[in-house]
Chains A and B, each alone.
Chain A
Amino acid sequence: MILTLTETERQVALAISVAVALCGLALAAAGNQDTMEIHGWLILAFGGICALVVIREIWGPEPPKSRLESYYDEPIKFGIAASMAWAVVAMFVGVWVAALLAFPDLTFDGAWASFGRLRPVHTSGVIFGFGGNALIATSLHVVQRTSRARLPDQLSAWFVLVGYNLFCILAASGYLLGVTQSKEYAEAEWYADIWLVIVWVTYFILYIRTLARRKEPHIYVANWYFMAFILVVAILHSINNLAVPVSLGHAKSYTIWSGVQDAMVQWWYGHNAVAFFLTAGFLGMLYYYLPIRAQRPIFSYRLSILSFWGITFFYMWAGSHHLHYTALPHWVQTLGMTFSVMLLVPSWASAGNALLTLNGAWHRVRDDATLRFMMVAAVFYGISTFEGSFLAIRPVNSLSHYTDWTVGHVHAGALGWVALITFGSLYTLVPSLWKREGMYSPALVEWHFWLSLAGTLVYIFAMWNSGIIQGLMWRTYTEEGTLAYSFLDSLRAMYPYYIARAFGGLLFLIGAVIGAYNMWMTVRAAPAKAPLESDVPLNAAVAAAGRG
């Protein structure tokens, strides 16, 4: 992988790795005794390993000029591997926290294994680790293909992917240590946040530079969604994480926002993280991999443009539906509610566009589990956005808020939509990237599909049930006007549902493990597609090209 970098790029890579390692050392020194010290050593080790990897091959031969006649896919392969690795780890932690709710003893008396610490490991792990790596990898694949242009250089994409994973590791390990900003989906502390800004800006510039090199005049719509994802996440992350550290030697920081402004900024961030991280980017995947896999063009290109602008401009205003019945001014709540309901239109336009694309290819959906992943993802996208618009209505929210119904909604979106579209896209991408005829085992893809679908259904039905029961128990009054049930009563009523949910999650986890295994074996063992173009051993070919 280092051999695909030019000599200058290798030197820059080494310099960056060393700089990162030195920053780690500085953090470790400044943070002495604080949890930050541990993170300092971690960063030092991470930078050191990167430096070693680069040094090992720094004097290797230059990559051949002919590289410019192909797309640059090496970092994308890394991103896919990282994505699946995070999926397995983070979904395992998800099953663990689900089990904790039914069997609280599973913390084994360790502070690090308490619910409050493991939960963000799960949420950040799946959203940023699994989802984020998949988004970066697929976006770099799609932008090259649809622009008919190679990435402008070899180093930036590596910096983005490796740097991004450093952020994910800092985040997850920090939560186990008790480091947190206490902002949902943005728990990582200030130094990790600053690092993410650097990585993300590089990502944005890389994307723009690739688009600027495009040979195809029109920018395909999938890129618009990816661009919106990158740009808006940069804005959200920077504004929500404005904070002042206690001192430069402390992990703890305090946000500059206060009171209801803080709540509003947080949920402006939170909801747009749903919109642009968990929706826009994955719609980019949908608009590229679904037509490819179905071998049919998107049903209506115009509709995809209209829904793009609808989604980007409506979502921005919807965040306040997370703060119904709070100190937030009433009109702001109403604004969020109204935009949430309007959002249903562009959301269903996308879901409908996807399903209509498949109209006429249903036989393929029947036979091909990969395409079925994407079809079911579009259906769940439709379901979860309908549900979201419904939950955003203030009186409905008075029943659902604080209950498991929200969790059910989240997972209709996260499992049914985000994870399934990702698996469908990766199953399309992996064989083509590694030049294989197909996946190692189509039967295992089938298994993965049915396990995912069963797991998702068990999960969301359990949470719908428990959520509505919870909500109703909390608002049932006796004739004397007192509450009929104590909180503990409602907790006891949840017990069977929590077990069912953990079981559904387990099915989903098994599916993901099977998927990771299948991809691994595809890379290792599946037969190659075309015979190799030349018969010359690689080193000789490289040397010859180097001379030429």
Chain B
Amino acid sequence: MDISHDALVAFSKSWGLFYLIGLMIGVLIYTFRPSNRGKFNRAKQSVLDQDDKPWT
């Protein structure tokens, strides 16, 4: 099969764009999902915990 330069450009200009937009939408949903709010708040506080031992 012969892949021409133009075909490659067209492919990257269309699908490259779609996949980045899709990725962005996915990330936005993950970030702003209300059900993740608690998890994120806990994560940001938990690094400040003073105990220096692994949990068992």
Contact = CB atoms under 8 A, between A and B. Distances in A.
A331 B53 contact: no
Contacts of B28: 306
A432 B51 CA distance: 12
B54 A148 contact: yes
Interface residue SS majority, chain A: helix
A149 B54 contact: yes
A301 B42 CA distance: 10
A220 B44 CA distance: 8
Given A305-B31, A331-B9, A71 B48 contact: no
A297 B45 contact: yes
Contacts of B52: 70-71, 145, 432
Given A313-B23, A331-B9, A146 B47 contact: yes
A209 interface: no
A71 B53 contact: yes
Given A292-B48, A306-B31, A301 B43 contact: yes
B7 interface: no
B54 A69 contact: yes
A17 interface: no
A190 interface: no
A149 B53 contact: no
A215 interface: yes
Contact of A306 (B9, B27, B53, B56): B27
A215 B43 contact: no
Interface string B33-54: 0000001111111111000111
A168 interface: no
B15 interface: no
Interface string B4-29: 01000100000000001001100110
A71 B54 contact: yes
Contacts of B53: 69-71
Contact of B56 (A69, A145, A217, A302): A69
A150 interface: yes
B41 A288 contact: no
B54 A295 contact: no
A296 B17 CA distance: 38
A70 B40 CA distance: 26
Q: Which of B20, B46, B54 has the most CB of A within 10 A?
A: B54
Given A291-B47, A313-B20, A149 B55 contact: yes
A402 interface: no
A215 B47 contact: no
Contacts of B44: 291, 297-298, 301
Interface string A290-328: 011001111001100110010001000000000000000
Nearest to A300: B44
Nearest to A222: B47
B42 A218 contact: yes
A144 interface: yes
Contacts of A291: 44, 47-48
B47 A292 contact: yes
Contacts of A306: 27-28, 31
Interface in A128-150: 144-146, 148-150
A218 B27 CA distance: 16
Contacts of A301: 40-41, 43-44
A216 interface: yes
Contacts of A305: 27, 30-31, 40
Nearest to A219: B43
B39 A218 contact: yes
A221 B23 contact: no
A55 to B, nearest CB: 31
Nearest to A296: B48
Interface in A141-165: 144-146, 148-150
Contacts of A146: 46-47
Contacts of A432: 52
A146 B54 CA distance: 9
Given A305-B31, A306-B27, A309-B27, A221 B43 contact: yes
B23 A309 contact: yes
A432 B20 CA distance: 42
Interface in A308-353: 309, 313, 329, 331
B32 A288 contact: no
A422 to B, nearest CB: 19
Interface in A224-246: none
A364 to B, nearest CB: 14
Nearest to A213: B54
10 contacts: A144-B54, A149-B54, A218-B43, A220-B47, A222-B47, A292-B47, A295-B48, A302-B31, A305-B27, A309-B24
Given A68-B56, A309-B24, 17 more contacts: A69-B54, A69-B56, A70-B54, A71-B54, A146-B46, A146-B47, A216-B46, A216-B55, A218-B42, A292-B47, A292-B48, A297-B44, A298-B44, A309-B23, A309-B27, A313-B23, A329-B5
Q: Which 10 A-B pairs have the closest CB atoms?
A: A215-B55, A297-B44, A148-B55, A301-B40, A301-B44, A309-B27, A150-B54, A218-B43, A302-B31, A305-B31
Interface of B: 5, 9, 20, 23-24, 27-28, 30-32, 39-48, 52-56
Interface of A: 68-71, 144-146, 148-150, 215-218, 220-222, 288, 291-292, 295-298, 301-302, 305-306, 309, 313, 329, 331, 432
